[in-house]
Structure 1
Amino acid sequence: MTVLYIDSDTALTQFCSEIQHSKWLAIDTEFLREKTYYPQLCLIQIANDDIIACVDPIAIKDLTPLLNLLYQPDITLVFHAARQDLELLYLLKNSLPPNLFDTQLAATILGDGDQIGYGNLVKQRLDVSLDKAHSRADWTQRPLSPEQLEYAADDVRYLCELYHQMSADLEKQQRTEWLKEDFAALSNADNYVADPETIWRKIRGAGKLKGVQLAVLQQLAAWREQRAMDRDRPRRWILKDEVMLDLARFAPEKPEKLSQIRGLEARDIERSGRAIIDVISKAKQTPPEQWPILLKPEPLSNQQEALIDALMALLRKFCDEQSITPIAVASRKDIEKLVRGEKDLALLQGWRYQIVGHHLTDFISGHLSVTADTQQIHTKEV
């Protein structure tokens, strides 16, 4: 199919009118975020069985006609690894489209692999090798070359074929319903909104701090997050994680002490030193009962570790029998939580429970016996 390049409001309105009766649309985006906090939307690729278009959001000032179309409740949007594309849509409209299909998620329960990339899935299922020449292109630059547009178009051209094929496979294997909750979870806005007050929990190394140190880290992380948002700059440009950890650990009280923090550049001290000291000072005044707590679970015993190993083996067995990638059902961390007695687990709900979860709980409760030979594991209800 010829690839349309949509770079005017008039052309966009006409294009949306042409595809408004589509039952589904394949969507992909090109964006950059190396120098910004928020991703910079550079191109939107859209396709159905009849047409492929590359919409230029840099040239077009009003994307309302397209957004109105994409959010229609009777249109399913088809993505591969949807989260980053959905983040962009959320930033544009402050809400998420209702009906989604993600070929990467579908791949996990069709036996195509966990976290499989688009190129690998296209090669595996359609025997097409995609050109990777423009994977690192600067999509903010104009004009876009014909080669770039073809490269971008391929991201939805084959997504259409994958959608038809994988939808049919899911229906044939009676697994279409399995993914409804997973797809619905993609439309949860909490996945795309950073909370400055809790972002400190994602900082690697926070577990080595305690008491007032965590209070300092929490407030530094909140300050950094808000500053990054306001200035639309990457977090690491404001303060690197390792610098924040040292600031929380040593809690300097005067700007001149900041030079002793490894990795904190002179220009950062000049620009933000006073603000950093103010944040630290305020955090140190936090009453102890308000200090954040990072709960650490009790170490597992050797026997519990052995139980987890056994459950992981059973997980792989039952997933292999269903041609499902094990990580689509549960991770080792999920199995550890199960052993610790936690109940609020995806493994214990829906299709995951039906095909694997109940076997694992039966094994723990002694209602499933396990034997083995050199070829496979055998299970029997007790």
Structure 2
Amino acid sequence: MTTRATGASRPAASSAVPHPAVPPGTTDHPISPHDVVDYPRPRDGLPEIIGTPAQLSRAARSLAAGQGPVALDAERASGFRYGQDAYLVQLRREGVGTLLIDPITCGPLTDLATALDGPEWILHAADQDIPCLTMLGLKAASLFDTELAARLLGRQHVGLGAVIEETLGLRLAKDHAAADWSTRPLPTSWLIYAALDVELLIDLRDALAVELEAAGKAQWATQEFEHIRTRPAKPAKIDPWRKTPRAGSTVRSPRSLAILRELWTSREELAAELDRTPSKVLSHQALIAAAVARPRSRRKMNALKEFSSRQARQNQERWWRAIERALEMPEEELPPPVLPWAPRSSPTRAPGSATTLKRRTSSTAYVEPSGSAPRRFACPRSSSWRRDASAVWPGTLVRRSSRDTPAASVLRRSVSAWPSWEPGRGRSSRPPRPSRQHCAEHTPIMCGGAPLTGTSERRTAVVVAGSSGTSRPCGTQWTSKP
């Protein structure tokens, strides 16, 4: 990556708060770290929190009268509260300034939803904030995601602070990202942090939009933003208790799995009742320790060091009842063990998968004209596949993870018309780019089909995914050969 020349100019400021650099930095020519200056506080001062229905109604009318897109952000209390509710919503629009809204005390946000139904939303990492905003009744008519735009441009660092530094030459304080935003009253330093999260989003959006257009990726970005905006909520996970940290490698027997499941379920119920994050009600280590030890009495359960904490002792009767249910459960009701996932694409643990990842990454470099192959396009998890008996048709190879990244779908559209392609065979084997019509009709999963195992066997997979995320057969064949 080329470094931008030092000495980026800035408009003269009437106050001590700096302005964004002119011209802005780009992916190939970012603002030099030596030219980045601190942006300590909002330029227009810190706004007061909007915390009553009357204040919200006035703010909504003001927001509706503003011009241009609306920058949004939401602060949650992840790690402190149960669920992903928003405890502060920040907005900024030209002609309006910054608004800080307390959704807990304002009541229904109907007036705000009406004001936001029309202008483009600007969010950073929209897939993190849209779910909690949707829970508040706020829905976007159009979207621009600055994080995804940075990924599509091949930025190596896509956090909000890093993108603003490289593009606008300003440094934001990021001291309260993991704070408990359910705290009331909110400290002034937290409110400054929250206001700054939307202060520069409009300037950042404009700079990234120009760069996307120059790179020929504006249409890609529009499609990906629309995908994020319109995709349905994620379905409930199957057996979420199996995702307890260290459970897959430690808890193997059906009886131990039953203890883990009963304790996890009991902990979830209590955490929801107390509105606390589950790990603060009973630690993950306590769940694993009980599942492995399988204590036969309350005394033996209490003897486990993981159950010696104050939070564990407060509800020891509840935990023992959960363990007792699992110990008394008939054999036919015990949860079945599941084989652990295959190793990730590590050269030492899974050389075949590592080879596949390397070839797919080199293939991505062809699709990405800058030569940069961001990890989001070809990640280790996407290189591991398994056969799924519940697939739509027999023999389908499906991804180990159901998570599908938007940038990967851009890659899939770019290679979807390549009927037979052998990755890693050099430039001479690279097929022509597909037609736009074909791209819209067929979206194959990643760009190789089946994983390579290092053998000489030729492997062909017919695997595609529709725009809705459901698999369907297609005539497109993908051939991978070591």
* Pairs within 5 Å for 1:126-205: 126-132=168-174, 140-142=183-185, 145=188, 149-179=191-221, 180-181=223-224, 184-185=227-228, 188=231, 190-191=233-234, 198-205=239-246
Distance 1:336 1:141, change over 3 A: same
After TM superposition, give the deviation of residue 27 of structure 1 in Å: 0.6
- Indicate the residue corresponding to 1:374 in structure 2: none
- Indicate the residue corresponding to 2:60 in structure 1: 16
| Counterparts of 2:131 and 2:166, CA distance in 1 | 28
- Indicate the residue corresponding to 2:397 in structure 1: 342
Structure 2: which 5+ runs fail to align?
1-42, 389-395, 432-482
- Indicate the residue corresponding to 2:269 in structure 1: 226
CA contact (8 A) 2:212 2:218 kept: yes
CA contact (8 A) 1:78 1:101 kept: yes
Give the superposed CA RMSD.
3.8
CA contact (8 A) 1:103 1:166 kept: yes
CA contact (8 A) 1:215 1:291 kept: yes
Match of 1:362 among 410, 415, 421: 421
SS at match of 1:220: helix
By relative contact order (CA 8 Å, sep 6+), the higher-ranking structure is 1
SS at match of 2:156: coil
1:327 aligns with 2:375: yes
CA contact (8 A) 1:96 1:187 kept: no
After TM superposition, give the deviation of residue 28 of structure 1 in Å: 1.6
- Indicate the residue corresponding to 2:315 in structure 1: 272
| Counterparts of 2:204 and 2:379, CA distance in 1 | 26
Distance 1:128 1:213, change over 3 A: same
After TM superposition, give the deviation of residue 359 of structure 1 in Å: 7.4
| Counterparts of 1:298 and 1:32, CA distance in 2 | 33
1:314 aligns with 2:362: yes
After TM superposition, give the deviation of residue 230 of structure 1 in Å: 1.5
- Indicate the residue corresponding to 1:77 in structure 2: 121
* Pairs within 5 Å for 1:248-263: 248-263=291-306
| Counterparts of 1:38 and 1:15, CA distance in 2 | 27
Q: TM-score, normalised by structure 2?
A: 0.64
| Counterparts of 2:311 and 2:175, CA distance in 1 | 37
1:112 aligns with 2:112: no
CA contact (8 A) 1:32 1:42 kept: yes
Q: TM-score, normalised by structure 1?
A: 0.78
1:304 aligns with 2:347: no
CA contact (8 A) 1:102 1:183 kept: no
| Counterparts of 1:111 and 1:242, CA distance in 2 | 39
Match of 2:95 among 32, 50, 63: 50
After TM superposition, give the deviation of residue 88 of structure 1 in Å: 3.1
Between the aligned residues of both structures, percent identity stands at: 21
Distance 1:267 1:154, change over 3 A: closer
User: Structure 1, residues 122-170: CA drift from partner, whole Å, max 9, x if none?
Assistant: 110111122456667776354754x665543322121011112223333
User: Structure 1, residues 57-111: CA drift from partner, whole Å, max 9, x if none?
Assistant: 1784325245423662x33321112344334324434x75454322111110012
User: Structure 1, residues 181-207: CA drift from partner, whole Å, max 9, x if none?
Assistant: 46534665644x876x63213212122
CA contact (8 A) 1:12 1:55 kept: no
- Indicate the residue corresponding to 1:245 in structure 2: 288
| Counterparts of 1:128 and 1:164, CA distance in 2 | 15
Distance 1:5 1:164, change over 3 A: same
1:380 aligns with 2:458: no
Equivalent residue letter for 2:89: I
SS at match of 2:136: helix
Match of 2:145 among 95, 102, 109: 102
Equivalent residue letter for 1:28: D
SS at match of 1:326: coil
After TM superposition, give the deviation of residue 245 of structure 1 in Å: 0.9
| Counterparts of 1:132 and 1:381, CA distance in 2 | 44
CA contact (8 A) 2:387 2:398 kept: no
CA contact (8 A) 1:45 1:52 kept: no
CA contact (8 A) 1:199 1:222 kept: no
Match of 1:64 among 98, 109, 123: 109
Distance 1:29 1:237, change over 3 A: same
Equivalent residue letter for 1:369: R
Equivalent residue letter for 1:15: A
User: Structure 1, residues 283-320: CA drift from partner, whole Å, max 9, x if none?
Assistant: 34154465144233567997624632541551463365
- The structure where helix makes up a greater share of residues is 1
SS at match of 2:305: coil
Structure 1: which 5+ runs fail to align?
371-377
CA contact (8 A) 2:64 2:115 kept: no
| Counterparts of 1:23 and 1:332, CA distance in 2 | 40
User: Structure 1, residues 247-295: CA drift from partner, whole Å, max 9, x if none?
Assistant: 1122223211112222112644543222222222323415446514423
CA contact (8 A) 1:29 1:41 kept: yes
Equivalent residue letter for 2:410: W
